[in-house]
Chain A
Amino acid sequence: MFELESKTIQNSDGAAYQLLIVSGDLGIATIGQLKNDLLAALQGHDHVILDMAAVTDVDYSVLQLLCSANKYAQQHGKHFQLKGQCTEAFIDRAQSLGFFRDQACNEAEDPTRCLWIPENLN
């Protein structure tokens, strides 16, 4: 099971973004729930950051969902970012499933925002 906490963060310059803090095991069993949460957040906000630092396990469906969310955001002129995803569980899985890239794929609306390029791992 995972837990999701949603917060609105206001920058000093007035810009706001929605921070989703997710924790626990993410996987196919709960993927529908996570999808709905993400979709809702992206529909309601222009800038969504998903903090994955407390995630203990991911599977293919999660990586697929993240990729999909990023696509959606770009198609709708929004900004989707990951934060704290460099956990062992996440990195190992993305590596063995062959998700990481040197360059963004050519379908990307904005190649700099690809989730899988080195620049966007933090």
Chain B
Amino acid sequence: MQDAPQNAFKEEAYELLSELEDSLLELEEQPDDHDTVSKVFRAMHTIKGSGAMFGFTTISEFTHEVETVFDLVRNGELPVSKQLVDLSLKARDHILSLLDCETEEQAQYAAQGAELVARFQALASGGSAPAPAVVTTPAAEPNSDAQKDDFTTYRIRFRPSLDIMHNGTSIAQLLDELAELGTCRTIAHKTNIRALDELDAEDCYASWDIILTSDCGEDAIRDVFIFVEDDCELIIKAIDLGDDDDGMDRKRVGDILVERGDISQAEIDEVLAKNKRIGDLLVEAHLVSRDQVDSALLEQQEIRKLKEKKKEKTQSASSLRVPADKLDDLVNLVGEMVTVQSRLSQVANQRHDAELLSIAEEVERLTEDLRDSTLNIRMLPIGSTFSKFKRLVRDISADLGKEVELKTTGADTELDKTVIEQLGDPLVHIIRNSMDHGIEMPDDRVAAGKPRTGQVHLSAEHSGDSVIIKISDDGKGMDPEVIRNKAVSKGIIGADEQLTHTDILNLVFAPGFSTAQQVTGLSGRGVGMDVVKRAIESLRGSITLDSEKGQGSTVSLRIPLTLAIIESLLVQIDDGRYVLPLSAVEECVELTAKDIHDAHGRNLARVRGHLVPYVPLREEFAIQGKLPTVQQIVITQINGQQLGFVVDNVIGEHQTVIKSLGPMYRDVQCVSGATILGDGSVALILDIVYLMQKASEEGRVTATA
């Protein structure tokens, strides 16, 4: 068991490493992006620094070597090459494996580490000579290694010697030069200027306080004064912005004066007792000059401005790290709350008590907000998963000798954390499939009149209460004939079965189907699309496939936003209550005894001139009891297929907190979970996807036009 700070380091390091990977890949695309180089450098630097602090010496020492190389890159001494990116990615993986294993096990990676270090050193020493494998040479700008929007406010005290002007120094020019570095507020201390009869007009009697807000470093400021170094006293100090925690939004003038050493705290306290503006008081008391107070006031304003800017920035980015299980607890509690609330609403409705009703309504509203906000906390942008795939695509294309580019859109689409985690593997598999089976070899692509580089496009977008994720490629697409023959030879379908284009494509989701003629190391390792399909369905999602021979394929996933609480339709069959996800429900129609009679036992209902197949759930679940005279059909639609479910009665909308059924009922199909109703009874959640599949196998489902 490791102690907390070390775990915190690991957590931070994992995050940095994933950032590092992104930055490196970015760097490969834009080798001359100085910001990205700095990002890589900083990530390495942080890992090295905190690694050493928490006793991860192996990591720290190794990272040091990588950092050294990136320092050269940052200074423009070493170009960004593919070789460097490759090596750095390997180094990143090496650090990751060091992080993952126990300290004692790190020895096994020593050889690998040493080899990488040697290669880095070779690269670094070779880099000083003009390297042939240059992608682009980064423009070596001075100062550009400073963070772009990291502004610092400096307090500069410039006290020239009396004779500074004798050798031709122009103070105005110095200050103008300084002003070019950033926003400059200047105040001259004129107290020492003598009266005319005592004045040597060529001497300089004043001194200056300059408040400079700039993104440059202290060195850049010193550079301005480099030629007058011996003729002046120069104090440069980055102004501490003061502590935010004390509730004061700015430093007081008195504090600034004390900090500058213009006055002591005791003197301030004495003057403060007189209850006037501190600046005026101090001047009146002849403790400081008006200039000094003005200068301090200037600084105060400048700090206030800077802080406001920083505030805006942090507001957009501030976040809090919370362990996932705490969130899960919260979601569970909200689930309980929703259940209790619906019970309260139910009781209130029965009592006909206006006061109770209004309370119940209030609670309902609050609970809804609470539920939404809680579920929102768990929402994460899917982009983190996307960036993982960049690396995957890069590695696979190198392995396959193909040229593939991954494009992503909608990286900021948010999905429940659990969903994102469980989506990873299926997505990896689909992308691998696209690259392995879809995208052709570069030469074949050129022959087919396509660009050499294949494209895999990963996109995510919101659609109602779901997110649609599409993975499309511009590869060779799927040949329906090949799929058909394969399915026949595998005995999945009969040789003379008539199938539509969609049906044929859907065969790839059948268990035991693999389209690759050869089993490669990437896809087709016995894990087929059927596994992907099952994984998606376990997320209550659905998967569809579209492919045009020679044009490419698109796999679309429809994933619900959350797994914890859903909007649903509560229905009743005999005494039992059931829940259908509202997102799948299209409409409810009546089913009379006459309708059943007219359909001649075919389980088809005529809805506005259109025939819709239905499943009598009463029969499906073998429920006995008296049939009501008018039953209801709940018509659902999933993946473009319509199916009705016949129930006794539709109760209404319901907030369903999904509870899993537990291991005892693991093998139960037809229901995907259960929920607790307001009166404490249990309602089963129907697994519509499974029911539809079952009906489809029995030949009952029709596709909607």
* A38 interface residue per 8 A CB criterion: yes
**1/0 per position for B139-177, CB-CB distance to A under 8 A?**
000000000000000000000000001001011100110
**1/0 per position for B206-237, CB-CB distance to A under 8 A?**
10111000000000000000000000000000
> Which of B191, B196, B204 neighbours the largest number of chain A CB atoms within 10 Å of its CB?
B196
| Interface residue ranges of B603-645 to A (CB < 8 Å) | none
* B399 interface residue per 8 A CB criterion: no
The segment out of A1-9, A10-18, A61-69 that lies at the interface is A61-69
- Given known pairs A68-B194, A68-B195, A72-B195, the reply for A97 and B188 (CB within 8 Å) is yes
Interface size class of A (residues with CB under 8 A): 20 to 34
* B519 interface residue per 8 A CB criterion: no
Q: Residues of B contacting A102 with CB < 8 Å?
A: 294
Asked if residues A103 and B290 are in contact (CB atoms below 8 Å), the reply is: yes
Asked if residues A42 and B170 are in contact (CB atoms below 8 Å), the reply is: no
Q: Residues of B contacting A69 with CB < 8 Å?
A: 196
Q: How close is A90's CB to chain B, nearest CB, in angstroms?
A: 12
* A113 interface residue per 8 A CB criterion: no
Instruction: Identify B195's interface contact among A31, A60, A75, A104, CB under 8 A.
Output: A75
The segment out of B63-71, B281-289, B359-367, B689-697 that lies at the interface is B281-289
Alpha-carbon distance between A105 and B194 when the two chains are bound, in angstroms: 14
Asked if residues A28 and B290 are in contact (CB atoms below 8 Å), the reply is: no
Asked if residues A106 and B175 are in contact (CB atoms below 8 Å), the reply is: no
| Interface residue ranges of B276-319 to A (CB < 8 Å) | 283-284, 286, 289-291, 294
- Given known pairs A98-B188, A105-B190, the reply for A39 and B196 (CB within 8 Å) is yes
Q: Residues of B contacting A79 with CB < 8 Å?
A: none
Asked if residues B197 and A39 are in contact (CB atoms below 8 Å), the reply is: yes
Asked if residues A64 and B196 are in contact (CB atoms below 8 Å), the reply is: no
Nearest B-chain residue to A108, judged by Cβ: B290
Total A-B contacts with CB atoms under 8 angstroms apart: 97
Q: Residues of B contacting A101 with CB < 8 Å?
A: 290-291, 294
Nearest B-chain residue to A115, judged by Cβ: B190
Q: How close is B198's CB to chain A, nearest CB, in angstroms?
A: 8
- Given known pairs A31-B202, A98-B186, the reply for A67 and B193 (CB within 8 Å) is yes
Alpha-carbon distance between A96 and B184 when the two chains are bound, in angstroms: 9
Asked if residues A59 and B170 are in contact (CB atoms below 8 Å), the reply is: yes
* B271 interface residue per 8 A CB criterion: no
* B566 interface residue per 8 A CB criterion: no
* B205 interface residue per 8 A CB criterion: yes
Alpha-carbon distance between A50 and B172 when the two chains are bound, in angstroms: 22
Q: Residues of B contacting A39 with CB < 8 Å?
A: 196-197
Asked if residues B188 and A105 are in contact (CB atoms below 8 Å), the reply is: no
Q: List 8 A-B contacts (CB under 8 A).
A: A32-B202, A38-B196, A59-B171, A64-B199, A64-B201, A96-B172, A102-B294, A106-B289
Binding site for A on B (CB under 8 A): 165, 168, 170-172, 175-176, 179, 185-188, 190-191, 193-197, 199, 201-202, 204-206, 208-210, 283-284, 286, 289-291, 294
- Report, nearest first, the 4 A-B pairs whose CB atoms are least far apart: A98-B186, A72-B196, A72-B195, A98-B188
